[in-house]
Each structure stands twice: as C-alpha cells, then as structure tokens.
Structure 1
Amino acid sequence: MNISVELTLTPLQDDFEPAIIQFIKRLRESGLTVLENPLSTQVYGDYDTVMKVLHKEIKTALEAVERGLLYIKIVKSDRSDYEPHF
C-alpha cells in the first residue's frame, strides 16, 4: 500500500533552522521520494518503508530540539505526481 505523508516540523526555539534542515536532509538520504515547499515536506512510498524511516527520523528530529511540534498528515495513495488543475 502506497502512502503520501506531509510533515511540518516546528521547533519552538530561536535557533530553529538547523533542526529543520537536518530533518529534511536525512529524509532525502532515505531513498524515498521527498518533495519540499516553504511550509512542509512530503514523503511518498510504501507504507511500511515510509513508516520505518519516519519512526527513526522523527525521533532524531525531536531529540535535536528543546521543544517542538511535528504535524503529520497521511493519505492512503501516492500523490507524488499531483499537479493542480487551475
């Protein structure tokens, strides 16, 4: 089963950029399809593979910040080829 996951990491601290950058870089290195925009990062792939990567990388990302939020949306389908029609 393929899934699409949208992630938004929000460190609640002044020096927030390094934690976000490292999180995205580690996701890119996972071999999964990863797309970014200014507000979120999307990860696409097989459910078990994506969740295994996220399990590890979310823990690492949260350990790297003093306080933070991580918003996650999961869609049951691979939406990596989505293009708006407007």
Structure 2
Amino acid sequence: MNVSVELTFTPLQNEYEPPISAFIKRVRASGFTVLENPLSTQVYGDYDGVMHMLTKEIKNSLSNIDIGLFQMKIVKTDRSSYVADF
C-alpha cells in the first residue's frame, strides 16, 4: 500500500535550524521520493518502508534535542505526481 506522508518538525529551542536540516538530509538519503517546501517535508512510498524509516529518523531527531514536536499527516495513496489544475 502506497502512502503520502507530510511532516513538520519543530524543535522548541533557539537553534532550531540544524536539527531540521539534519532530519531532512537523512530522509532524503532514504531512497524514498521526498519533496520539500518551506513549511513541511513530504515522503512518498510503500507504507511499511516509509513508516519504518520515519520511526527511526523521528526517534533520532527527538533524541538530539531537549524539546520538540512532529506533526504528521498520512494519506493512503501516492500523491507525489499531483499537479494543481486550477
């Protein structure tokens, strides 16, 4: 089953950019389709593989900061090729 996952990582600290950049670089290296915009990162692929990778990378990211949060949306379909037609 293919999924589209949208993530927003918010480290609650003054130096918030380095942990976000590190997370995005690790997700990019995962081999899944990854798209980014200024507000979130989207990951597309097989549910089991994506969730396995995200479980590992989210834990890694949270382990390296004092306080932070992840927001995640999951859609049951691969929307990576979506193009607005309006």
Normalised TM-score (structure 2): 0.98
Q: Deviations over 1:36-60 (max 9, x none)?
A: 0000000000001101100100000
1:72, CA displacement in angstroms?
0.3
What corresponds to 1:37 in structure 2? 37
What corresponds to 1:51 in structure 2? 51
Q: CA RMSD in A?
A: 0.5
Equivalent-residue separation in structure 1 for 2:20 and 2:65 (angstroms): 10
Question: How many residue pairs were aligned?
Answer: 86
What corresponds to 1:4 in structure 2? 4
Q: Deviations over 1:20-75 (max 9, x none)?
A: 00000000000000000000000000001101100100000111111111000000
* 1:16 maps to 2:16: yes
- % identity of equivalent residues: 65
1:85, CA displacement in angstroms?
1.4
Residue ranges of structure 1 left out of the alignment (5+ in a row): none
What corresponds to 2:27 in structure 1? 27
What corresponds to 2:73 in structure 1? 73
Equivalent-residue separation in structure 1 for 2:65 and 2:85 (angstroms): 38
Q: Which 4+ residue blocks in structure 1 deviate beyond 4 angstroms?
A: none
Residue ranges of structure 2 left out of the alignment (5+ in a row): none
